[in-house]
């Protein structure tokens, strides 16, 4: 009788242990790899891709060797950053997901029957999460509000208000877009693999737990974008420049033109050229000037933050020029008589301050004054009996204003326009 009781007790202990071992414990694992912009080929050195794949490959091998955890489901997610067309980004998402799945299939059994896929295309929701976690995004609240509106439209929850990408590019002159393009978009060019395991009873093998890379979000946080709208090619980043003319020179009948390029981080470079070569020998009237200048500018202030090439600017500049002015009496010639601009030209250098004021969508007026040094040789002469008689040669040494501009500025380039009436872009 005692023997029977002992036998029953052993059976109960064994069966209880079996039931306890059958209690389901779910374990999740994941891996994420990154791709270059517009590419689907696997680059091992990019963002430690190879290290991430080696880790999960080891996890797959350990899992099946010990037979402790059984794979229950697989989620493969392919994503792309917002730039590019709808069709191309969907293709990128599918191909990137396939690259990751095919690669890991070599290290363990990943049955298609357990696989589900999500192809994100333009990953607006992923971008929203990145913006929420980055306090350095310019105009962050406005950017988040617009991104949430776009994400709702992309999921079909609201009417579409034009091309989504164009709208975010135009926000605040493209400043938030350029920041996100440079700092956040690379995180979206990726594919992710999620693996769900259930722990099963094995009376022989040890029960190691697969290594965890990162907490895996629930499947509800993954979205599919299948909204179709107009396919519009997008620029890689905003581009700002302007073409200008100094209206003070125009009033003095000296034609001129200038070009300014925005370099980024509130810096720009501007170059100007003038050429006026007028004369009437009968009245001994000469009005000649030609030359150019170049300046490096730093923009600052609220207007400059909202849109490049607008608002306050400080800079340093250099000028080279020659001239010949005579209005019936004593004349003054800068440089070598009969020479070119490079023959003992006059020169100036200094610091400048200015303000560029928006007047229409694509036009500004730029007011600039420069203070510095003007040096070089100049000649004095007089018209006598139809000839021009040299009087003396002097060296110019001048400290004071050497530059003045009231320039009409035409803004050109992607996203380079001012606010319309009412503050809308």
Domains by residue range for the chain, with CATH: 21-221 (3.30.1330.60), 241-412 (2.40.160)
Tokens, residue 297: 């500018």
Query: What's the pLDDT band for 24 if we cut at 50, 70, 90?
Result: very low
Count other Cβ atoms within 10 Å, centred on residue 266. 16
The answer to whether the CB of 83 falls within 8 A of the CB of 181 is: yes
Average pLDDT rounded to a whole number, residues 339-346: 78
Give the H/E segment covering residue 100.
helix 86-104
For residue range 231-267, list pLDDT tens digits in order: 444 445 678 899 999 999 999 889 999 999 999 889 9
Question: In sequence order, which ranges of 22-85 are alpha helices (DSSP H)?
Answer: 49-66
> Residue 123: enclosing H or E segment and its boundaries?
none
Task: Answer whether 195's CB lies under 8 Å from 28's CB.
Answer: yes
Strand segments, DSSP code E, in 361-415 are: 363-384, 387-412
For 425, the 3-state DSSP assignment is: coil
In the block, tokens 């229950």 appear at: 72
Helix (H) or strand (E) holding 143, with range, is helix 140-154
Q: Helix or strand or coil: residue 163?
A: coil
> Do the bridges between strand 267-280 and strand 363-384 make them parallel or antiparallel, or are there none, so unpaired?
unpaired
Query: Given phi > 0 = left and psi -120 to 50 = alpha, else beta, which region is 156?
Result: left
**C-alpha Rg value of the chain to the nearest Å:** 36
Which residues does residue 298 pair with via DSSP β-bridges, in sequence order?
267, 314
Tokens of 279: 């004369």
For the beta carbon of residue 74, count every other beta carbon within 10 angstroms: 19
Task: State pLDDT tens for residues 346-402.
Answer: 999 999 999 999 999 899 999 999 999 999 888 888 877 777 777 888 888 999 999
What mean pLDDT value characterizes the chain?
78
Statement: residue 23 has pLDDT above 50: no
What is the tens place of the pLDDT at every residue in 185-210? 898 888 887 877 776 655 444 445 44
**What's the mean pLDDT in 30-49?**
84
Instruction: Say how many residues make up the chain.
Output: 425
């Amino acid at each position: 009788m005692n023997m029977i009781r002992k036998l029953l007790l052993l059976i109960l202990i064994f069966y209880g242990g079996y039931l306890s071992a059958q209690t389901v414990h779910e374990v999740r694992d994941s891996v994420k790899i990154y791709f270059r912009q517009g590419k689907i080929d696997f680059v091992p050195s990019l963002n430690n891709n190879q290290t991430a794949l080696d880790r999960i490959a080891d996890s797959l091998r350990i899992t099946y060797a010990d037979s402790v955890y059984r794979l229950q489901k697989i989620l493969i997610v392919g994503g792309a950053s917002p730039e590019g067309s709808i069709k191309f980004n969907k293709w990128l998402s599918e191909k990137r997901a396939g690259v990751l799945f095919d690669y890991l299939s070599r290290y363990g059994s990943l049955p298609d029957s357990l696989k589900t896929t999500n192809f994100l295309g333009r990953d607006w929701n992923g971008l929203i999460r990145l913006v929420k976690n980055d306090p350095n995004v310019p105009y962050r609240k406005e950017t988040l509000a617009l991104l949430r509106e776009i994400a709702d439209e992309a999921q079909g929850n609201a009417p579409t208000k034009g091309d989504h990408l164009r709208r975010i590019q135009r926000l605040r002159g493209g400043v938030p877009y350029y920041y996100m393009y440079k700092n956040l978009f690379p995180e979206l060019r990726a594919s992710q693999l999620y693996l769900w395991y259930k722990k099963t009873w094995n009376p022989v093998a040890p029960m190691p737990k697969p290594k965890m890379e990162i907490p895996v979000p629930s499947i509800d946080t993954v979205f599919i974008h299948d909204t179709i709208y107009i396919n519009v090619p997008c620029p890689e980043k905003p581009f700002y420049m302007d073409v200008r003319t100094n209206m003070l020179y125009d009033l003095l009948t000296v034609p001129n033109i200038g070009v300014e390029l925005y370099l980024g981080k509130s810096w720009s470079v501007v170059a100007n050229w003038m050429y006026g070569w007028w004369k009437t020998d009968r009245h001994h009237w000469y009005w000649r000037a030609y030359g150019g200048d170049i300046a490096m500018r730093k923009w600052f202030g609220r207007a400059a933050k909202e849109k490049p090439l607008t608002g306050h600017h400080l800079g340093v500049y250099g000028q080279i020029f020659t001239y010949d002015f005579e209005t019936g009496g004593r004349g003054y010639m800068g440089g070598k008589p009969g020479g070119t601009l490079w023959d003992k030209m006059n020169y100036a250098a200094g610091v400048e301050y200015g303000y560029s004021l928006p007047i229409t969508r694509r036009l500004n007026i730029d007011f600039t004054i420069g203070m510095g040094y003007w040096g070089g040789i100049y000649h004095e002469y007089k018209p006598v009996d139809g000839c021009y008689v040299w009087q003396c040669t002097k060296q110019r040494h001048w400290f004071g204003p050497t530059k003045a501009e009231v320039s009409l500025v035409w803004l050109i380039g992607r996203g380079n326009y001012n606010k319309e009436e009412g503050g809308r872009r």
